[in-house]
Amino acid sequence: MKDTKLFVVLPCYNEEEVLGETSKRLLELYGKMISEGTVSPESKIVFVDDGSRDRTWEIISRLAREHEEVKALRFSRNFGHQLAVTAGMDEAKGDAVIIMDADLQDPPEVIADMVKAWEQGADIAYGKRLHRKGETAAKKLTAWCYYRLLNFMSAYPIPLDTGDFRLLDKAVADEFKVLREHNRFLRGMSAWLGYNAVPVEYVREERCAGKTKYTLKKMLRLAADGIFGFSSKPLTLIGWAGLAVLCIALLGLIATIACAAVTGVPGWLWAVCALVLLDGVILCAMGVQGAYTQRIYDEVKGRPLYIIKERQS
Ligand code: UDP
Ligand code: MG
């Protein structure tokens, strides 16, 4: 019997439809792994209720009462997926921690492959999506483009087509706990930490029930956290954009004067277009600077990352 303590962290937001099946599959897997001696009986499954308004807390707190290996945390409100994962990781005191979604899109069976990779020396075993089932072509295309844009922007290589589904060795998980930034992008933070990261390929399943809890607003927010949290390139790029607009404006000015002299078309028409273009560039530049300022402001306030209202273990 091994004494490897494995912690699995699952953030849950309004997931009453999926939790029965998810907990059943996870508890079965834990039972099998414990009886085979792959992991210690002290291993835990940590469900974090991210301020759900449905029966999520009722379900996970009952699971925690009925099963020794289940722990449940409840946020005081919806703080977001990345912070729910953070709270679960703060709670995890194992030899390895696994982060996975509660909707079974990350199949629990892949956990065994991640543990194998970890036993063979990986510090981080991250799930690499070979194929994404049941997602729209638009979502797949935007995700494909985003991961590549992110890698172009980021100062640290962030693995392509990879979400937060991963195993972290205790050493990495402990370092993770030290990173207390408010606008979090966990897969980027994992890349920033370095260590020996190994891909574990898997097919991303369809959500087992219910609808996505990632609204467009939340998705855009996460995408922005990835870019602004891991790159200062946007600031450099707006400088170059300003220079490019300046050059175009100069050429336009010459063209306007020449055109007005030859054809008699009033020059101010061109000037209006140039002004509007310039205003657009200035507003974009202010937006980019604002994104960084807002992140600084969030840090300066020094508030806790999340608030736990209740716990059951
Ligand atoms: N989630 C969360 N808080 C949120 C939104 C989502 O804890 O504000 C959880 C959700 O319950 C799920 C995981 O994050 O376990 C991923 O969300 P979802 O499956 O809805 O995202 P998608 O897979 O559609 O991108
Ligand atoms: Mg999902």
The mean predicted confidence, pLDDT, of the chain is 91
Higher pLDDT, 255 or 304: 304
68-95 residue pLDDT tens: 999 999 999 999 999 999 999 999 998 9
Residue 5 has pLDDT above 80, yes or no: yes
162-175 residue pLDDT tens: 999 999 999 999 99
Which atom of ligand 1 is nearest to 84's Cα? 7
- Token look-up 């070979």 returns 130
Query: Which has the minimum average pLDDT: 1-5, 37-41, 110-114?
Result: 1-5
Query: What is the model's pLDDT at position 174?
Result: 96
- Write the single-letter amino acid at 4: T
* Distance from Cα 271 to the centre of ligand 2, integer Å: 50
Query: Which has the minimum average pLDDT: 220-224, 243-247, 266-270?
Result: 266-270
Average pLDDT over residues 116-122: 95
Give the neighbor-by-neighbor strand order of the sheet with 197-204: 197-204, 124-132, 162-169, 96-99, 6-12, 44-49, 70-75, 308-312
- Pairwise CA distance, residues 65 & 56, whole Å: 14
The helix/strand/coil state of 213 is: coil
**246: which 2 tokens?**
């300046």
Residue 29 has pLDDT above 60, yes or no: yes
The helix/strand/coil state of 11 is: strand
Give CA 63 to chain center in angstroms.
27
185-196 residue pLDDT tens: 999 999 999 999
Average pLDDT over residues 202-231: 91
Residue 1 has pLDDT above 70, yes or no: no
Average pLDDT over residues 119-148: 88
Categorize the per-residue pLDDT at 276 as very low, low, confident or very high, splitting at 50, 70 and 90.
Answer: confident
Query: What is the model's pLDDT at position 3?
Result: 83
- 179 CB contacts (<8 Å, ≥6 apart)? 189, 193
**231: which 2 tokens?**
């790159």
Categorize the per-residue pLDDT at 267 as very low, low, confident or very high, splitting at 50, 70 and 90.
Answer: low
- Going by CA atoms, what residue is nearest to atom 24 of ligand 1? 212
What is the percentage of the chain residues whose pLDDT exceeds 70? 98
Higher pLDDT, 253 or 32: 32
Q: Is the CB of 50 under 6 A from ligand 1?
A: yes
Q: Is the CB of 212 under 6 A from ligand 1?
A: yes
* Distance from Cα 38 to the centre of ligand 1, integer Å: 29
Higher pLDDT, 262 or 6: 6
The residue among 293, 71, 257, 113 whose CA lies nearest residue 199 is: 113
Average pLDDT over residues 3-13: 95
* Distance from Cα 305 to the centre of ligand 1, integer Å: 18
Phi-psi region of 77 (alpha: psi -120 to 50; beta: other; left: phi over 0): beta
